[in-house]
Every structure is written in structure tokens, then in C-alpha cells.
């Protein structure tokens, strides 16, 4: 089947953590149970692999290939979409990972902007993305916008101008920014095959109001079932219920932020809540103390007692 003919990417997409063993090496044995956990306990049927949450920029190209291959193999026939993030500082590395993603049967690729040498304009960024997409023309392609981390503040709406002419495989954006005006402008310019996935979990409801087709995020790993309820309530017009769930999620995050919520804390929290052994993060991200993760998990269980 032509991968470009697949159904649009919608709903919740978990940005997966990368399982490491206590020595800091990738631990593939967790990936199978991780996929089952997302499907069975969280009702999350799509994943975004090797993104920010997956510590992609701290992994070697070889490690990223090994992980991408294992996630794709184990998710086959179980998950709807496996999107592999292939963005790197080097265009060559990104292209190598894009070719690899096509070979292993990924459902799509995403690319972040390079951030050491930053593109000067939307046009330059579009050209970089085009160069990556062109080596894997049969794979749905998504731009990954996360300006707080990359420092690349190009308006996504400007990037989208005529993008399908240079990237025929273009299928949408993972928008992890807070500029909802830019997000709204993107949605209003959207084409039928495109998806706009929002990436700031704490304000998902606002993005849904703006027309988001779904969301990619880290918290959907452990409160995906609740955020699925938020989306259903929103779709049924029960805004009060959707807002209540969003407010609880914000209370959880604000509690976690006061304890220094970062990727290390987030990863440990997922281990505690899911029972999966995800191991430590890789330096420079620091491992969080058990006590911190346990108190956040306790708060989570108080807010969402079904966990």
C-alpha cells in the first residue's frame, strides 16, 4: 500500500521515552511491554519515537536506528501510526535516518529545525526540510516545531506557504509552541491530507478549540486515558468536563514544576506510574530522586484516582 495514502494522523500520540539500562545503554526489552501498556492502559494507539522525550539529541545515529527499528517491529499490527523523528544538527545524519525510517516501514517521519546553526528564515528552514524529505519521498512528512528548545521562532504559517510544492509528502506539523495565533493561522490554511498536532499538553483544550487534529506529548504516556476523555468530552460539546480534566492536568504539572519538573523527573514518573523500568536519562539530563517521582505519582493518583 502507498504509505502516502494512509489515513490522517489524529488523536493522541505518545512521545515515547527511551528505555535505558542502569549502565545507560538502550534497553530494547522494555519496548514490547511499553507498547502494550500504551494501548491497554492508556488507549493511546500512536507513538512519536526519538523526539525530545526520547532524548534523540543525546543518542547516536546508530542508537536511533536500532530504537526506530525495534519500535516499528514491535508496534506492527498493534498501533495506528509510528512516527520516527529523524531531525539532527547535520543534514546528512537526518537524511540517513529518513532513509532508514523508510526501510523499516515507519508510518511517517518528523524533522525538528537544526538549532546550533539556525536557519535564518522560513525559506531556509523549508529548504532544509525539503532536503530531508526528498530522500524518503514515500513517507508522510511532519515538521516538528518546538521554538522554546530550538530557539527557531520562524512562524509556522510562513513555513507552510506553498510547502506541498517542494515537499509533496508533507502531511502536517507537530506544534509544540505557545503561539496559538500562529497555530490557528496554520489550521486555517490546512489542506485535506494535513494534520496539526498540538504539543503543549497543559493547554490542549485551547488548541482543540483552534482546530487541532490531535496531540503529541509526553504526558499521554501516563495520563493518556484521561486526556482521551478530555478530547471525547470536547468533541461532544461538554466543555465543562473537558475543562475540568485540563485543570486537573495543570494542577499536576504545576505541582511537578515546583519540584523541578524536567525530562529526568518525567521519565522517572513514567516508570513509577507504569511499572515499566525505563532506567535513567542520559547526561546532561539528570536522574531524579525516587522521592520526587513518588510524590508526583501520589498527586497524580489523587487527581486521577483510576490510576
7 flagged as catalytic: no
Catalytic entry in 144, 198, 220, 222:
144
Can you give the three-state secondary structure of 6-32, one letter per residue?
CCCCCEEEEECCCCECCCCCECHHHHH
Q: Does 177 bind ligand SI3 (CB under 6 A)?
A: no
Distance in angstroms (rounded) separating the CA atoms of residues 189 and 191: 7
Round to whole Å and give the CA distance between 103 and 235: 37
Contact between 176 and ligand SI3 per CB under 6 A: yes
Strands 46-49 and 214-217: unpaired
Q: How many residues bind ligand SI3 (CB under 6 A)?
A: 16
Q: Catalytic residue at 34?
A: no
Task: Kindly state the smallest distance separating residue 5's Cβ from ligand SI3, in Å.
Answer: 25
Could you say whether residue 262 binds ligand SI3 (CB under 6 A)?
Answer: no
d(CA 13, CA 54): 13
Interface residue with ligand SI3 among 123, 158, 179, 202 (CB under 6 A) is 202
Q: Which residue is nearest to ligand SI3 (CB)?
A: 51
- Cα dihedral 27, 32, 37, 38 sign: positive
Residues 130-169 that bind ligand SI3 (CB under 6 A): 149
In the DSSP assignment, the letter for residue 201 is G
172 binds ligand SI3 (CB under 6 A): no
Catalytic residue among 174, 220, 222, 267: 174
In whole angstroms, the minimum distance from the beta carbon of 201 to ligand SI3 comes to 4
Q: Shortest Cβ distance from residue 46 to ligand SI3 (Å)?
A: 12
Are 111 and 96 in contact, with CB atoms under 8 Å apart? Answer: no
Judged on CB neighbours under 10 Å (0-12, 13-18, 19+), 123 is middle
Cβ–Cβ < 8 Å for 31, 74: yes
Name the minimum Å distance from CB 1 to ligand SI3.
27
Q: Which residues, 3 to 62, sit near ligand SI3 by CB under 6 A? A: 15, 48, 51-53
Which region, judged by CB under 6 A, interacts with ligand SI3, from 72-80, 157-165, 195-203, 290-298? 195-203
Residue 179 binds ligand SI3 (CB under 6 A): no
**Per-residue x/- marks for ligand SI3, 210-229, CB under 6 A?**
------xxxx----------
Q: What is the rounded CA–CA span in Å between residue 143 and residue 146? A: 10
82 forms part of the interface with ligand SI3 (CB under 6 A): no
The H-or-E segment that residue 142 falls in is: strand 141-145
**Beta 141-145 vs 81-85: how paired, if at all?**
unpaired
Active site positions, annotated = 144, 174
Binding site for ligand SI3 (CB under 6 A): 15, 48, 51-53, 149, 176, 199-202, 216-219, 253
Amino acid at each position: 500500500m502507498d504509505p502516502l495514502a494512509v489515513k490522517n494522523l489524529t488523536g493522541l500520540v505518545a512521545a515515547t521515552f527511551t528505555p535505558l539500562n542502569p549502565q545507560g545503554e538502550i534497553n530494547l526489552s522494555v519496548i514490547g511491554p511499553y507498547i502494550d501498556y500504551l494501548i491497554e492502559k492508556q488507549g493511546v494507539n500512536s507513538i512519536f519515537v526519538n523526539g525530545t522525550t526520547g532524548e534523540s539529541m543525546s543518542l547516536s545515529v546508530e542508537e536511533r536506528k536500532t530504537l526506530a527499528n525495534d519500535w516499528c517491529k514491535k508496534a506492527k499490527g498493534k498501533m495506528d501510526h509510528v512516527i520516527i523523528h529523524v531531525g539532527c544538527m547535520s543534514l546528512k545524519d537526518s537524511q540517513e535516518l529518513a532513509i532508514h525510517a523508510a526501510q523499516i516501514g515507519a508510518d511517517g517521519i518528523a524533522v525538528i529545525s537544526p538549532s546550533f546553526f539556525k536557519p535564518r528564515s522560513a525559506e531556509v528552514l523549508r529548504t532544509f526540510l525539503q532536503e530531508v524529505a526528498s530522500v524518503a519521498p514515500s513517507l508522510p512528512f511532519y515538521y516538528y516545531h518546538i521554538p522554546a528548545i530550538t530557539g527557531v521562532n520562524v512562524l509556522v504559517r510562513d513555513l507552510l506557504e506553498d510547502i506541498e510544492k517542494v515537499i509533496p509528502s508533507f502531511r502536517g506539523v507537530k506544534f509544540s509552541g505557545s503561539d496559538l495565533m500562529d497555530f490557528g493561522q496554520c489550521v486555517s490554511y490546512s489542506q485535506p491530507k494535513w494534520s496539526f498536532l498540538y504539543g503543549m499538553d497543559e493547554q490542549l483544550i485551547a488548541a482543540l478549540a483552534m482546530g487541532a487534529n490531535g496531540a503529541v506529548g509526553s504526558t499521554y504516556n501516563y495520563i493518556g486515558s484521561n486526556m482521551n476523555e478530555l478530547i471525547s468530552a470536547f468533541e461532544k460539546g461538554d466543555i465543562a468536563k473537558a475543562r475540568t480534566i485540563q485543570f486537573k492536568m495543570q494542577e499536576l504539572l504545576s505541582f511537578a514544576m515546583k519540584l523541578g519538573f524536567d525530562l529526568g523527573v518525567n521519565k522517572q514518573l513514567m516508570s513509577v506510574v507504569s511499572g515499566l523500568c525505563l532506567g535513567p536519562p542520559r547526561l546532561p539530563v539528570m536522574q531524579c530522586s525516587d522521592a520526587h517521582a513518588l510524590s508526583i505519582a501520589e498527586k497524580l493518583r489523587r487527581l486521577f484516582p483510576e490510576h
